[in-house]
């Protein structure tokens, strides 16, 4: 997951989608997801977990 977040931060590529109804983005790696917010100079990760539990 860390490598995918670093690649997104550097190149802007990856399986990233905006969340619906709340601010933030999610990135996918297999069955795991990371929920984060991107600012001009940083990526702040709020949660990392299995896709079944991450959005609760």
Distance in angstroms (rounded) separating the CA atoms of residues 15 and 41:
20
Q: What is the Cβ-side half-sphere exposure of residue 11, based on CA atoms within 13 angstroms?
A: 8
Neighbours of 4 (CB within 10 A): 18
Contacts of 16 (CB under 8 A, 6+ apart): 8, 25, 26, 27
Task: Tell me the whole-structure pTM to 2 decimals.
Answer: 0.86
Over residues 32-55, mean pLDDT: 93
What tokens does 52 get? 């079944």
Instruction: Decide if 26 contacts 37 (C-beta within 8 A).
Output: no
Q: pLDDT tens digits for 1-34?
A: 999 999 999 999 999 999 999 999 999 999 999 9
């Amino acid at each position: 997951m860390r490598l995918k977040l670093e690649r997104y931060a550097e190149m802007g590529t990856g399986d990233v989608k905006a969340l619906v109804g709340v601010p933030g983005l999610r990135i996918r790696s297999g069955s795991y997801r990371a929920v984060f917010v991107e600012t001009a100079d940083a990526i702040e990760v709020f949660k990392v977990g299995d896709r079944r539990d991450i959005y609760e």
